[in-house]
Amino acid sequence: MNTNSFAALGMQTSFCDVLTRVGFIEPTPIQTQAIPHLLEGRDLLGIAQTGTGKTAAFALPTLQRLVDENLATKARFPRALILAPTRELVLQIREELDSFSQATDLHHTIVIGGVGQNPQIKALARGIDVLVATPGRLLDLARERHVDLSEVSVLILDEADRLLDMGFIRDVKRIVAMTPKTRQSLLFSATMPREVADLASEMLRDPERVDVSPKQVTVREIEQRVVHVANADKQRALELLLHQPEVTRAIVFTRTKHGANKVAKKLVNAGITAEAIHGNKSQNARQRALENFSNGDAWVLVATDIAARGIDISGVSHVFNFELPHEPESYVHRIGRTGRAGAAGAAWALVDPEEVKRLRAVERLIRMKLPTVDLDLPAREVGEAQISAEGSPTQRTNGGSNTNRRRGNAQQSARGNSAGNSAQSQGGNRRRRGRSRPVAASA
């Protein structure tokens, strides 16, 4: 028998056959380390990023356990519960469950906000074995007695750091309290801030710890720059940087949902087509924003950390940290949205004096000092602003450069547009205002 196989880890033949059909030949490190412990019924603390195969690591042993128990499916009473921070992640987990459960009679469904709840209520009423949910909608349905968590035997928290960053800590604790104390509990997180460690100690019993986080952060292939600028001037600095000819598609990260809306609205008012995406957006609004960004109808996406992991959008030339995150690991996840698949990428951080400690934490994590660029921000039209380095300003005037052209008319008034809505074409070519190429200066 191949010692590096799912069968060697203890997975049954029926599951191994399915895995072979869907292209899972050899287990990843997180699967190799986690699956045997989970099949033994142990609690587990897993430290792993998106893309390591962690969904299979927790889904496969959970499904095999439910098959072995051979209990009847009951209406409203799931036997396994997977909590995830975002609707997008819930949908991804459902897709993998669709594949892994092909050879079983198990039933699974999802519960998410932003869409009508009646189809979800009907699915729960038909009987469910595995439930994948975001916390807010799950609590709503639990309060209305459409779902009962008192028979959950396996509880899984995926991307726990994002759950906490998005303000779900109280909801998560309420949900955990609804499940039996005798359950098997799993917690997966890409980072381990103090709040996640505290939550793990509360919900896990003598857990096995599996850590497959990268020992060396690989961000050196991304061109990184820092601009020291006061919070009050960050918007002007951002608009100036977005007018660089090199910027073809950009993601701007803020710390809060309100901040994302505010930044996106100001960009639209400045004639820059932008979309905002965060946890308060409806599912349809978020999908529409991602589609507009992916197809080029909007070339700037303003996002909270909800988009830092799990959303793979090709062709992102630049990432801008409008605000540095609380956890330095999140900086790495953010800038990883650019420079993908061998393409060039650039990341800029706008750093207020009060954020310098966060910058130093980032530099310690990535083991490099980030170079600094100075910006001149005169009180005039953004398109006429200059970037200076070593006392020599450079300027690109408005005009006929092809690199400055985009579909539609970016000069149109954004009056009446809500934050994050793309500035729509009124005919002709959309033109970005004159842009200056930044000259990097040494820190």
Q: What is the CATH number of the domain that holds 34?
A: 3.40.50.300
Assess whether pLDDT exceeds 90 at residue 224: yes
List, for residues 103-147, the tens digit of each pLDDT value. Answer: 999 999 999 998 999 999 999 999 999 999 999 999 999 999 999
Q: Which residues contact 92 (CB under 8 A, 6 or more apart)?
A: 55, 310
Assess whether pLDDT exceeds 70 at residue 7: yes
- What residues are paired with 128 via a beta bridge? 74
Task: Please check whether residues 47 and 185 belong to one and the same domain.
Answer: yes
Is 400 within the bounds of a domain?
Answer: yes
Percent of the chain with pLDDT over 90: 59
List, for residues 152-193, the tens digit of each pLDDT value. Answer: 999 999 999 888 878 899 999 999 999 999 999 999 998 888
Quick one: DSSP state of residue 299? S
Report the pLDDT value the prediction gives residue 311, as an integer from 0 to 100. Answer: 63
Last residue of a domain, one of 155, 182, 211: 211
Q: Is the dihedral of CA 145, 162, 87, 298 positive or negative?
A: positive
Task: Please check whether residues 272 and 144 belong to one and the same domain.
Answer: no
User: Which backbone phi and psi does 389 adopt, to 5 degrees?
Assistant: -145, 135
Task: Please check whether residues 195 and 227 belong to one and the same domain.
Answer: no
**Strand 44-47 to 184-189 pairing:** parallel
* Burial of 216 per CB tally in 10 Å (0-12, 13-18, 19+): exposed
State in Å, rounded, how far the first CA of the chain is from the last one. 56
Q: To which residue do tokens 């928290």 refer? A: 157
Percent of the chain with pLDDT over 70: 80
Report how far residue 368's alpha carbon sits from residue 252's, in angstroms, rounded to the nearest whole number: 22
Directed axis angle between helix 87-100 and helix 54-69, to 10°? 50
- What residues are paired with 156 via a beta bridge? 82, 186
- Give the range among 20-29, 281-290, 321-330, 346-355 with minimum mean pLDDT: 281-290
Instruction: Tell me the mean pLDDT in the region 43-59.
Output: 89
Assess whether pLDDT exceeds 80 at residue 220: no
Is 216 within the bounds of a domain?
Answer: no
Is 1 within the bounds of a domain?
Answer: no
Instruction: Tell me the mean pLDDT in the region 15-21.
Output: 93
Instruction: Tell me the mean pLDDT in the region 242-261.
Output: 92
Range of the domain at 124: 6-211
Q: Look at phi and psi of residue 408 and say left if phi exceeds 0, alpha if psi is from -120 to 50, else beta.
A: left
Q: To which residue do tokens 């396996």 refer? A: 154
Instruction: Tell me the mean pLDDT in the region 37-44.
Output: 97
Assess whether pLDDT exceeds 60 at residue 423: no
Assess whether pLDDT exceeds 60 at residue 436: no
Query: Three-class SS of residue 406?
Result: strand
Are 25 and 9 spatial neighbours (Cβ–Cβ below 8 Å)? no
List, for residues 199-219, the tens digit of each pLDDT value. Answer: 999 999 999 999 987 655 556
- Give the range among 20-29, 119-128, 301-310 with minimum mean pLDDT: 301-310
- Which amino acid would we find at residue 234? K
Mean model confidence pLDDT for the chain: 82
